[in-house]
Amino acid sequence: MLPLIVLLLLWQVLGDPRSPYFPPPSTWAAALIDRTSAGDLAPAVLATFQSVAAALVLATGLGVGIGGLIGASPALERCLGPTLEFLRTLPPPTIVPVAALLIGVNQEMKLSVIVFAALWPVLLNTTSGVRSLHPTLLEVARSLQLGAIAQVTKIFLPALLPSILTGVRVAAPLAIIVSLLAEMLTLMPGLGALLLMAQRNFNAAEVFGLLAVVGSFGFIINAVLAAFESWALMPQGRS
């Protein structure tokens, strides 16, 4: 954090407010204040946040479910493996036009694209976690004669939690990037659309200001996930 602060201070001192390409940070703040006064910034941040949060929840649920099944069943892995590997390698920018054609330019399309990109880290980490489970856990479940739901909630999910949370933390920045990309390509409400419009208007101060907002947005989400991970992995956090 300190190098970034020093860089911004140097930029502020040495930068020229009249520069069309590298305006100092003080002009960024002024541009963001203008955008806030116009009533555009807060709704855009909220729209992007809602999309990212909903996509992470859906991607986590799907990734844990599919990854758990694949990790527990070698036959299912052989059946679905090639298809999943093909889908995983598709770049998100190529998915947006296809999704827009099939679903339409709406919130469901945006959410689908973000989930598609964020799904894979959770799925792969869950699959790896299931494969690395110690056989003793299975013996404990059989010895205690636990039902299927009790096995999942009391034994397997706690054991897989580190792998799942690692996947979610990897998926979070991907969700932000793809959300911005979808908003730029479709001009749906969000920070991506504001960024694109500022770039088209050659408003460098607003572009840099919005980039600072996006960076802060990602920093906050990562900090929240890191704090939740620290809490969840503590013994009292799961009690």
The C-alpha atoms of residue 15 and residue 29 are separated, in whole angstroms, by 14
Of 187, 185, 183, nearest to 217 by C-alpha is: 183
Domain residue limits, the chain: 28-237
Low-confidence stretches of the chain (pLDDT < 70) are: 141, 145-146, 235-239
* Residue-averaged pLDDT of the chain: 88
- Is pTM beyond 0.85 here? yes
The predicted pLDDT at position 182 comes to 92
- Asked: is 28-237 a CATH 1.10.3720.10 domain? The reply is yes
Return the structure tokens found at 120.
């894979």
Q: Which amino acid is at 184?
A: M
Question: How much is the pLDDT for 89?
Answer: 86
- Longest Cα–Cα distance of the chain, Å, equals 74
